Amino acid sequence: MKDSYVTSDGRTIGGVLMDMRGITLRFGGVEAIKNISFDIREGEIRAIIGPNGAGKSSMLNVISGFYHPQEGEVWFRGAKRPTMRPYDVARQGIARTFQNIALFEGMSVLDNVMCGRLTHMKTGVFSQAIWHGAAQREEVENREAVERIIDFLEIQAIRKTPVGRLPYGLKKRVELARALAAEPKLLLLDEPMAGMNVEEKEDMSRFILDVNDEFGTTIALIEHDMGVVMDLSDRVVVMDYGRKIGDGTPDEVRGNQEVIDAYLGVAHD
Amino acid sequence: MFYREAGDFKTSYEADSQTFPIKFDRYRFWAVLAVAYLVIPFIINDYWANAILVPFLIYTIAAIGLNILTGYCGQVSLGTGGFMAVGAYAMYKLMTAFPDVSIMIHVILAGGITAVVGAAFGLPSLRIKGFYLAVATLAAQFFLVWLFNKVAWFYNYSASGQINAPERFVGGIAVTGPNTDAWAKYMICLVFVTVCAIIARNLTRGTMGRKWMAIRDMDIAAEIIGVNPLQAKLSAFAVSSFFIGISGALFFSVYLGAVEVGEAFGIQKSFLVLFMVIIGGLGSIFGSFAGAGFLVLLPVALKVIGVDLLGWPTDIVAHLQLVIIGALIMFFLIKEPHGLAQFWRVAKEKLRLWPFPY
């Protein structure tokens, strides 16, 4: 494949950002992921799909450092990644959202999104204790960055509302805001549209496309809504029972017999 | 009608993130400070200082400390009494070893030593959570009290096993020892409370506080946004113990003057401070003041009402006190887990809309 190319809608897809090579993940005797390789290119929207229990979320957890695969290598930005804890992965520029919303319920929307900036904040305990000076400057600089995200996702009105009081759809958006605030190179979205109605899905799809377009963020997402996946993504990985059964553009995947079998079932005679 | 945000426009993010966003609150804060610094020292007497104000101020520092650990970082601790003892004994050793150094510095150093000890006892928090952590900190409580009883070096080999605060001066005025004036005791505690509260507020509204609260609310999500749980939990233990150490140092040197460790810093103290934090409000600096004030005032108020006004026997009133405190704690846990601070918050929200219902 060429090193970089321009898509039909005029976005430039760059070289390989993340490369998963021969990943195998076992829980005791169960092989959740079996020898899977795929890459994510800079600037693209990459979808991971598959039936329930296919190992999609496990794959995302491998990328974000929750699980450490027994075999295989993770390459990020041209270098092999050593075994890392999730907070080191975050510092490398990988942010994510969760399938079940994982916001900090006791804090306001603003504080939640500010939390996304933690990897950018460097002042020590003592300057924070004094507050005036370095800590306040840093707080204000990061607040400006956060306000841009808040504007972008149109959640200005709920800035100071405690997250616990928000409805489901808005919580999902706040979680996206928190991930975006980190200004990630790679954004992982675990079922960003689960449990949403059509209008909320449209909103969320628009935000995902806008994020990719305006910030140039590479996005990897897991989603069950095939219409959304086929419309949004540049390339799709299909998993079933921990194996990779398809990889390619939405059109290629749609025509893949193995994929059709996995989703529709095969007649056993 | 004057309790409003309306018309009080914030034009910078500095102004937007200030502690008291409403003008009236700011005036009230300065008024409270003015009364505390300019009025009370001149009218205070021994009874008010020893029965109410000095213990209130000292317990407030301890409650702020525990609130940072339990309220903000979500780590339950029953080791408060033990950590206060560390502060007290560190204070005693420093006072006797370096008699020429100002005790203001001793108090801060005692806090620092307690911070180190607290962080060490915080290590298990990386592996264990909730009730199990509470039990682990309970071990710290009993171990520390045992240590200070057992090792004579800590009480300078005195025959009684007690530690006594020698007389020390700040700017020529006695602040420890038997000849201390009520107002001097009060002032030194007030200064430390003010500084501690400001530091705690600054830490909790910034990066540090967000890390702690992130760990409290959802530790998995906290890790994914780049919070190192080891660092966050240990820093909470250290900062919390720093404040508790300061309160222990003041409790021994300024308030009691002489301390027997099992009596002054036993498990009851741990529970007392924990109750203050629960009743006052978890995760609120104001709640630490409210909780400490409430639990210091309640026994005094009950005694005044029961013994002085109604003429009941002292022992009955003392027992009644335990019943009432127990009942109140249950009431708060069921009715308002966020404590007095939440009542205060709700009152302020209502006041902002007054006279309209919404």
Residue A139 near residue B206 (C-beta atoms within 8 A) = yes
With helix as H, strand as E and coil as C, how does A68-106 read? CCCEEEEEECCEECCCCCHHHHHHCCEEEECCCCCCCCC
A97: closest CA of chain B, how far (Å): 9
pLDDT tops 60 at residue B317: yes
Interval B297-316 mean pLDDT: 86
| Contacts with B, A 190-249, CB within 8 Å | none
For residue A64, is it within any domain?
Answer: yes
Phi then psi for residue A241, to 5 deg, are 45, 45
* Å between A221 CA and nearest CA of chain B: 16
Q: Residue B291: name the closest of B56, B42, B51 by CA.
A: B56
Do A176 and A224 lie in one domain? The reply is no
Determine, for residues A115 and B229 on separate chains, whether the beta-carbon distance falls below 8 Å.
Answer: no
Residue B278: both structure tokens together:
């629960």
Count, residues in chain B: 358
Check if the beta carbon of residue A56 is closer than 8 Å to that of residue A239.
Answer: yes
Whether A130 and chain B come into contact, CB under 8 Å, resolves to yes
Q: How confident is the model over B15-51, as pLDDT tens digits?
A: 887 888 888 888 889 999 999 999 999 999 889 999 9
Burial of B4 (0-12, 13-18, 19+ CB in 10 A): middle
pLDDT (0 to 100) of residue A39: 93
Domain boundaries, chain B: 16-266
DSSP class of residue A216? -
Chain A residues with CB inside 8 Å of B214's CB? 104, 107, 115, 118
What length is written for chain A? 269
Q: Does B68 touch chain A (CB under 8 A)?
A: no
Report which residue type is found at A207: F
Domain membership flag for residue A98 = no
**Per-residue pLDDT for A168 more than 70?**
yes
Mind telling me how many Å the CA of B74 is from chain A's nearest CA?
11
Number of domains chain A is built from = 2
Instruction: Kindly determine whether residue A102 and residue B224, on different chains, have CB atoms separated by under 8 Å.
Output: yes
pLDDT tens digits, A227-255: 899 999 999 999 999 999 999 999 999 88
Are A213 and A11 in contact, with CB atoms under 8 Å apart? yes
Contact yes or no for A89/A65 (Cβ under 8 A) = yes
Q: How far is CA A62 from CA A52, A80, A260, B21, B166, in A?
A: 18, 14, 27, 44, 61
Q: Which of A64, A140, A179 sits opposite B14 (nearest CB)?
A: A140
User: pLDDT (tens digit, 9 = 90+) per residue, A194-233?
Assistant: 888 999 999 999 999 999 999 999 999 999 988 899 999 9
Q: Are residues A155 and A189 in the same domain?
A: no
Q: Which residues pair with B332 in a beta bridge?
A: none
Chain-chain contact of A102 with B218 (C-beta, under 8 angstroms)? yes
Q: What is the mean pLDDT of residues B71-99?
A: 95
CA–CA gap between residue A181 and residue A20 (Å, rounded): 26
Q: Which amino acid is at B177?
A: G
B14 neighbourhood in chain A, CB within 8 Å = 136, 140
- If one compares A68 and A268, the residue with the highest pLDDT of the two is A68
Task: Give the model's pLDDT for residue B198.
Answer: 95
Q: With contact defined as beta carbons under 8 Å apart, do A102 and A94 qualify?
A: no
ipTM, 2 dp: 0.90
Q: Tell me the residue type at A258.
A: E
Give the model's pLDDT for residue B196: 96
Of the CA atoms within 13 Å of residue A202, those in its CB half-sphere come to 2
The pLDDT mean for chain B works out to 90
Instruction: Give residue B116's pLDDT.
Output: 97
Looking at A183, A218, A247, which one is the last position of a domain? Answer: A183
Instruction: Quote the pTM value.
Output: 0.91
Mutation for testing the A interface, residue in B223, B225, B246 having most A CBs under 10 Å:
B225
What percent of chain A lies above the pLDDT cut of 70? 99
Domain extent at residue A117: 104-183
Interface of A with B in 48-107 (CB under 8 A): 64, 66, 85-87, 89-91, 95-96, 98, 102-107
Which is higher by pLDDT, B352 or B52? B52
Q: How many CB atoms lie within 10 A of CB B350?
A: 13
Torsion angles phi and psi, residue A227, rounded to 5: -60, -50
Q: Is B225–A129 a contact, with Cβ atoms under 8 angstroms apart?
A: no
Partner residue facing B206 (CB), from A86, A103, A139: A139
pLDDT (tens digit per residue) in A20-36: 999 999 998 899 999 99
pLDDT value of position B339: 85
Question: In the predicted model, is pLDDT for residue B89 greater than 80?
Answer: yes
Considering the domain architecture, whether residues A197 and A172 belong to the same structural domain is answered as no
Residue A1 has pLDDT above 60, yes or no: no
Q: Report how far residue B236's alpha carbon sits from residue B211's, in angstroms, rounded to the nearest whole number.
A: 10
Q: Which of A183, A204, A223 is the last residue of a domain?
A: A183
Measure the CA angle with vertex A72, ends A70 and A73; round to 5°: 120
Q: At what angle do helices B80-97 and B103-122 cross, to 10 degrees?
A: 140
Chain A residues closer than 8 Å to B235 by CB: 125
Instruction: Name the nearest CA neighbour of B247 among B40, B90, B45.
Output: B90
Q: Within 10 A of B275 (CB to CB), how many other CB atoms are there?
A: 19
Burial letters B62-71, b for 16+ CB under 10 A, else e: bbbbbbbbbb
pLDDT of B241 strictly over 60: yes
| B210 in A contact zone (CB under 8 Å) | yes
Cα torsion A69, A72, A75, A79 to 10°: value is 110
Tell whether B339 lies on the interface with A, counting CB pairs under 8 A.
no
Give the residue from chain B lying closest to A179, CA to CA. Answer: B225
DSSP state of B166: P
Please check whether residues A72 and A88 belong to one and the same domain: yes
Query: How many CB pairs lie under 8 A apart between chains A and B?
Result: 103
With an 8 Å Cβ cutoff, are B223 and A125 in contact? no
A241, two tokens = 């029972």
Residues of A whose CB is below 8 A from B221: 98, 102-104
Q: What is the mean pLDDT of residues A137-145?
A: 92
Mean pLDDT of A133-143: 91
Give yes or no: residues A169 and A203 share one domain.
no
pLDDT band, residue A153 (cuts 50/70/90): very high
Q: Residue A2's pLDDT band (boundaries 50, 70, 90)?
A: low
Which residues are within 8 A (CB) of B17 and not within 5 positions of it... i.e. 6 or more apart?
A139, A143, B205
Are the beta carbons of A188 and A97 closer than 8 angstroms?
yes
Q: Which helix or strand (DSSP H or E) is residue A243 part of?
A: strand A243-248
Residue of A nearest to B210 (CA): A115
Q: Are residues A200 and A267 in the same domain?
A: yes
pLDDT of A8 above 80: no
Q: Is A163 in the same domain as A110? A: yes
Burial of A255 (0-12, 13-18, 19+ CB in 10 A): exposed
pLDDT of residue A269: 65
Same domain for A6 and A87: yes
Q: What is the DSSP string of B235-304?
A: HHHHHHHHHHHHHHHHIIIIIISEE-HHHHSSHHHHHHHHHHHHHH-TT-HHHHHHHHHHHHHHHHHHHI
Q: How far apart are CA A46 and CA A132, in angstroms?
A: 44
A178 closest CB neighbour out of B203, B217, B225:
B225
State the average pLDDT for chain A: 91
Average pLDDT over residues B45-58: 93
Q: Does A168 touch chain B (CB under 8 A)?
A: no
Per the domain annotation, does A99 fall within a domain?
no
Q: Which chain B residues contact residue A95 at CB under 8 A?
A: 224-225
Q: What is the CATH number of the domain that holds A19?
A: 3.40.50.300
Same-domain pairing of A157 and A240: no
| A48 and A123 fall within a common domain | no
First to last CA, chain B: 14
Q: What is the pLDDT of residues B108-127, one digit of tens each?
A: 999 999 999 999 999 988 88
Distance of residue A140 Cα from the nearest chain B Cα, in angstroms: 6
Residue B2: its pLDDT value, please?
Answer: 65
Question: Cβ contacts (< 8 Å) between B11 and chain A: which residues?
Answer: none
Which of B217, B228, B235 is closest, CB to CB, to A125? B235
Question: Rounded to whole angstroms, how far apart are CA atoms B254 and B317?
Answer: 28
Bridge partner residues of A219 (DSSP): A45, A187
Q: Are residues A175 and A191 in the same domain?
A: no
Helices marked H in A64-196: 86-91, 109-115, 125-130, 134-152, 168-181
- Averaged over B253-258, what is the pLDDT? 93
Is the pLDDT at A3 greater than 80? The verdict is no
Per-residue pLDDT tens digits for B144-185? 999 999 999 999 998 888 999 999 988 888 888 888 899 999
pLDDT at position A82: 92
Of A118, A150, A183, which marks where a domain is finished?
A183
Q: Which CATH architecture has domain B16-266?
A: Orthogonal Bundle (1.10)
- Does A131 lie at the interface with B, CB-CB under 8 angstroms? yes
